[in-house]
Amino acid sequence: MPQHFDAVVIGTGQGGAPLAVRLGESGRKTAVIERGAFGGTCVNVGCTPTKSYVASARAAHVVRHAADLGVQVGGAVSVDLAAVKARKDRIIGQSRDGVEKWLRGAKNVTVFKGHARFTGAHALSVLGPDGSVLEEISADEIFINTGTRAVVPPLEGLERIRYYTNSNLLELTELPSHLVIVGSSYIALEFAQIFRRFGSKVSVLVRGERVLTREDADFAESVQKVLAREGVEFHFGVQPSRVEPHPHHEHEVCIGFEQNVPALEASHLLFATGRVPNTDDLGLTAAGIATDKHGTIPVDGQLRTNVPGVWAIGDVNGRGAFTHTSYDDFQIVTANLLGGGARTADTRIMAYAVFVDPPLARVGLSETEVRKSGRAALIATMPMSRVGRAGERGETDGFMKVLVDAQSRQILGAGIHGIEGDEAIHTFIDIMAAGAPYPTLQYAMHVHPTISELVPTLLDGLKPMK
């Protein structure tokens, strides 16, 4: 007979793991099903490992430019990728083991190691690596937190070469001599700067005419300018059509294009062309759970699917592809289900950062989106060169931008490409979340010398958007 639980959580990402613990604490008999590494994408192949690489890359960059600050460092700077990887492995190992220990020790929580597959609206099989059924489970409440994986385009010759995604690139122990990256969004640019600072030659293949197409053109240009100055090469208006092994160098790759562009040779080829939800092998049809054409599970504001008693949280629901949106999903579900609240993702103000150096951080609407809306708005920009802290650190790249509704004086959106912008953006996030008009922030006294202290000065420069 199937084991019956009050609740089942599928996946142990940033939303699933704390949700399972909280459900157990509420008195629910809870099951957790995890087929891979505990902690999900963020801990294992996403935020945690890549930001440890960002830290190593920044250290190399700072040492190389130490003389700019009057500090003399003898000899050439080199990066031991095996040591960088070993440090990364220690960090993610501690996090992954911590999540598993936390779940296995949680009250009223039972952990199953295997692959979950629906056999009915509230029934699941737990499958082993060979597809055999290890357990049969039923539950009143089911929460899907299965995340996403990297997309690899179906290029001609792909089966004949060695290629990489964000996951296996992090397993390298020797530096690529020439890393070619297909894609120009967040993951692509972070890896481009990381490996360029490590010492690799890096080429980025951009299908269109600019990077970061979801961002305003001025921010995209600002980020590209920094990376290009550091030696990252950009090839615009190109799209690979075929790949093949290098005729003279084992494991290297030749990349061909449909356009009249010479073939490109690479020691390593990284695809950073998007991600797809892990829903294709969950048996959702058997449960009657709807998905869209991308495999995403549509949910309402309270993250409920079309099947009563089934929720989808994290990347898989398409309501935000970030660790912090996944965690916020957990908070929404628990507030509503356990706290009698009425929280909704519909009113969530989106915020995120691209962890290039300096970072690009954004909240709310972009200038492009505000212009498309047709609303009357105020706008202000300010170069980071005006920020004392940035000058003192010798890092004045980038600028700030803010947009305000002309009638309500509510902040519509803001962005910072600049040193510590990923932290300074929270001055805007908090004011927007509070629903306070921009003078609340404009008239606040900030600490000197910081990045955030120039935000009121930025607001002083608001003018009607033309």
When divided into structural domains, the chain yields a total of: 3
Q: What pLDDT shows up at residue 280? A: 96
pLDDT of residue 282: 98
- The percentage of residues in the chain with a pLDDT greater than 70, rounded to a whole number, is 100
Q: Is residue 466 part of a domain?
A: no
65 is catalytic: no
pTM beyond 0.85: the answer is: yes
Q: Identify the band that residue 196 occupies on the pLDDT scale cut at 50, 70 and 90.
A: very high
**β-bridge mates for residue 33, sequence order:** 10, 112
Are residues 8 and 63 located together in one domain of the fold?
Answer: yes
What are residue 246's phi and psi, to 5 degrees? -65, 135
Residue 67, in any domain of the structure = yes
Q: Which of 235, 294, 426, 448 is catalytic?
A: 448
Q: What is the pLDDT of residue 377?
A: 98
| Residue ending a domain, choose from 240, 273, 306 | 273
CATH number at residue 415: 3.30.390.30
- What is the mean pLDDT of the segment spanning 270-275? 97
Confidence of residue 69 (pLDDT cuts 50, 70, 90): very high
Residues 421-452 have pLDDT tens digits of 999 999 999 999 999 999 999 999 999 999 99
Instruction: Please tell me the predicted confidence (pLDDT) of residue 251.
Output: 85
Please indicate, yes or no, if residue 23 is contained in any of the structural domains.
yes
Q: Is 315 annotated as a binding residue?
A: yes
Residues in the chain: 466
Residue 97 in marked binding region:
no
Same domain, 384 and 419: yes
Calculate the CA 150 to chain-centre distance: 12
Whether 301 contacts 4, CB under 8 Å: no
Q: What is the CATH number of the domain that holds 78?
A: 3.50.50.60
Average pLDDT over residues 61-71: 97
Distance, CA of 417 to CA of 18 (rounded, Å) = 32
Q: Do 443 and 368 reside in the same domain of the chain?
A: yes
Residues 316 and 440 in one domain: no
Q: Count CB neighbours of 262 within 10 A.
A: 7
State residue 250's pLDDT score: 83
Q: Is 163 annotated as a binding residue?
A: no
Q: In the predicted model, what is the mean pLDDT of residues 200-227?
A: 98
| Ligand-binding site membership of 120 (annotated) | no
Domain check: are 19 and 106 in the same one? yes
Question: Is 293 one of the annotated binding-site residues?
Answer: no
Structure token digits, residue 237 = 């208006």
8 Å CB contact between 414 and 403: yes
- Tens of pLDDT along 90-108? 999 999 999 999 999 999 9
pLDDT of residue 258: 84
pLDDT of 259 higher than 80: no
203 is in an annotated binding site: no
End position of a domain, from candidates 296, 314, 347: 347
Residue type, 438: Y
> What is the average pLDDT value for the chain, to the nearest integer?
97
Tens of pLDDT, residues 27-45? 999 999 999 999 999 999 9
C-alpha to C-alpha distance for 357 and 352, rounded to whole angstroms = 15
d(CA 402, CA 411): 7
188 is in an annotated binding site: yes
34 and 145 part of one domain: yes
Which structural domain, as residue segments, surrounds residue 194? 158-273
The pLDDT, as a whole number, for residue 142 is: 98
pLDDT value of residue 46? 95
Whether the per-residue pLDDT at 260 is higher than 90: the answer is no
Asked if residue 104 and residue 135 are part of one domain, the reply reads: yes
> Do residues 286 and 141 share a domain?
yes
Residues 305 and 398 in one domain: no
Annotated binding residue 185: yes
Contacts of 120 (CB under 8 A, 6+ apart): 138, 286, 287
Q: Which tens digit of pLDDT belongs to each residue from 399-429?
A: 999 999 999 999 999 999 999 999 999 999 9
Q: What is the pLDDT of residues 164-195, one digit of tens each?
A: 999 999 999 999 999 999 999 999 999 999 99
Last residue of a domain, one of 295, 330, 347: 347
86 and 221, same domain (yes or no): no
Whether 12 and 116 share a structural domain: yes
Q: What is the mean pLDDT of residues 319-341?
A: 96
| 132 in a known ligand binding site | no
Residue 367 lies in a domain: yes
274 labelled ligand-binding? yes
Q: By 3-state DSSP, what share of the chain in percent is helix, strand and coil, each rounded to 5?
A: 35, 25, 40
pLDDT per position as a tens digit, 343-353: 999 999 999 99
Residue 457: inside a domain, yes or no? yes
The arrangement of strands across the sheet holding 463-464 comes to 351-354, 360-364, 411-417, 399-405, 377-383, 463-464
**Residue 425, in any domain of the structure:** yes
Report the pLDDT value the prediction gives residue 249, as an integer from 0 to 100.
Answer: 86
Asked if the model's pLDDT at residue 304 lies above 90, the reply is yes
- Classify 49 as helix, strand or coil: helix
Burial of 28 (0-12, 13-18, 19+ CB in 10 A): buried
Is 42 in the same domain as 183? no
In this structure, what token pair is assigned to residue 263? 């073939």
